[in-house]
Amino acid sequence: MRITMIGSGYVGLVSGACFADFGHDVTCVDKDASKIEALRAGRMPIYEPGLDQLVAGNVAAGRLTFTTDLAEGVKGADAVFIAVGTPSRRGDGHADLSYVFAATEEVARAATGPLVVVTKSTVPVGTGDRVEAILRETRPDIDFAVVSNPEFLREGAAISDFKRPDRIVIGTDDARARTVMHEIYRPLYIGESPILYTGRRTAELTKYAANAFLATKITFINEIADLCEAVGADVKDVSRGIGLDNRIGRKFLHAGPGYGGSCFPKDTLALLKTAEDYESPVRIVEAVVKVNDARKRAMGRKVVAALGGGDDARGKTVALLGLTFKPNTDDMRDAPSLAIVQSLQDCGITVRAYDPEGMAIAKTMMPDVVYCEDAYEAATGADAVAIVTEWDAFRALDLKRLAGLLTAPRLVDLRNVYDREEAERAGFSYSAIGR
């Protein structure tokens, strides 16, 4: 099959490279000429483990190409995937669909024959209807079929998620579109990955519902962690105890500083706005958003408390280990570190930081932070160290060495990476989440 991917960001690039690896001919289109130039030179615009090798292999095989020319990219395509950004609209929290609709108009003008147009971007319920209307209004002479095919990719594990998915959701009632999508995903169908065919609106809502539910699990265990601290329980054991129930499951039950990233914050907000528009409120998700926002600020206060709080903390220095919202990505969008750093600086605390992949982006967002070469440099001369992101590089630190570099050996473990006994043996005054 010949596939065109509109948008060469996280979703578009990973999806396009994986489709090419399945044997399809894929053209990735992007308006950003510098990004396309970098991709042609083998430089990735994002950090995702294994992506550079996957792209290089398929470019060398002639199955994956990059262009800024949308018309050229669409010519002769069997399916065009729209994978552009849908950020929260400034001021009201609605998903900004301007990029989706602009891409739709361009695809319509460039189409040369019957075409299946697939929304891969995360979009609110009913967006596919509007996309179909734009296509037909722009080019009434072309037979278009519009499909919703939401992505379920975890940053840091996106290639594995694409090639070994829990499920593939395809929203369409059009027989021709279903045949095209079946052929596109045939390699996964052969591998017995479940393919769920639904109505288009059902597919659109499934994506938001999934992310909102996962965000709810994270927020739930974070509140339970606070209760654990109050009553003297251990949230890691509580998580294990409830996670072994197959009805609940272990995933997303790790207490921490709250969720961030490219999906959960904007998707929960967009779901709230959709519910508001249809006068069908989702109170649980409303609470999740409020609790998560408060959670990030509370983590800053937790670090301040470890320094003695109030005036005792003013003028001190904290080493933050990890800035991205999760490990194995350079994504800083809505990362808890942003709120934590702000709350520390508001208290007159200097922040030294290290992250294996996120510092280049972090520097543009937090210019007043001192960025370091590694965890030990960050800790040198600091009054406390706080683990904010659970990178593998932080799971086996030389704790005795780390303690010796601090003016006072304080460790605030916001990801519960270490055991209290281990940290205290190294000389640390240790505080964690829900323990």
Residue 81 burial (10 A CB sphere; 0-12, 13-18, 19+): buried
How many residues in the chain?
435
Give every CB contact of residue 148 below 8 A, 6+ residues apart in sequence: 118, 119, 123, 127, 128, 169, 170, 171, 172, 200, 201, 203, 204
- How far is residue 303's CA from residue 343's CA, in Å, rounded to a whole number? 10
Spatial strand order of the sheet with 384-387 comes to 370-371, 350-354, 317-321, 384-387, 410-413, 429-432
Supply the pLDDT for residue 189.
85
Nearest to 171 by CA among 217, 227, 123, 239: 123
Nearest to 257 by CA among 93, 376, 363, 412: 412
Phi, psi dihedral angles at 322 (to 5 degrees): 100, 130
Spatial strand order of the sheet with 25-29 comes to 64-67, 25-29, 2-6, 79-82, 115-119, 144-148, 168-171, 195-198
How far apart, in Å, are the Cα atoms of 353 and each of 57, 367, 408?
Answer: 35, 11, 17
Strand-pair partners of 3: 26, 79
Nearest to 195 by CA among 82, 264, 203: 203
Q: Which amino acid is at 427?
A: G
- How far is residue 26's CA from residue 6's CA, in Å, rounded to a whole number? 11
What domains appear along the chain, each with residue ranges and CATH number?
2-198 (3.40.50.720), 199-435 (3.40.50.720)
Supply the pLDDT for residue 256.
97
Supply the pLDDT for residue 428.
97
Supply the pLDDT for residue 12.
97
Of 18, 28, 263, 372, which one is the catalytic site residue? 263
Neighbours of 297 (CB within 10 A): 17
Angle of helix 336-346 relative to helix 283-306, nearest 10 degrees, comes to 50
DSSP 138-179: H-TTS-EEEEE----PPTTSHHHHHHS-S-EEEE---HHHHH
DSSP conformation class of 89 = P
- How far is residue 199's CA from residue 221's CA, in Å, rounded to a whole number? 33
Q: What is residue 406's three-state secondary structure?
A: coil
Residue that the structure tokens 């961030």 belong to: 260
* Active site (annotated) includes residue 228: no
Supply the pLDDT for residue 90.
78
Supply the pLDDT for residue 139.
97
Q: Does the pTM exceed 0.85?
A: yes
pLDDT digits (tens, 9 = 90+) for 107-151: 999 999 999 999 999 999 999 999 999 999 999 999 999 999 999
Percent of the chain with pLDDT over 70: 100
Nearest to 328 by CA among 80, 160, 192, 83: 160
- Pair type for strands 317-321 and 350-354: parallel
Neighbours of 311 (CB within 10 A): 9
Supply the pLDDT for residue 245.
97
Residue that the structure tokens 């179909």 belong to: 132
Task: Show the DSSP H helices in 33-174 as ranges.
Answer: 33-40, 51-60, 70-74, 98-110, 127-138, 158-163
Stretches where the chain sits below pLDDT 70 are none
pLDDT digits (tens, 9 = 90+) for 326-337: 999 999 999 999
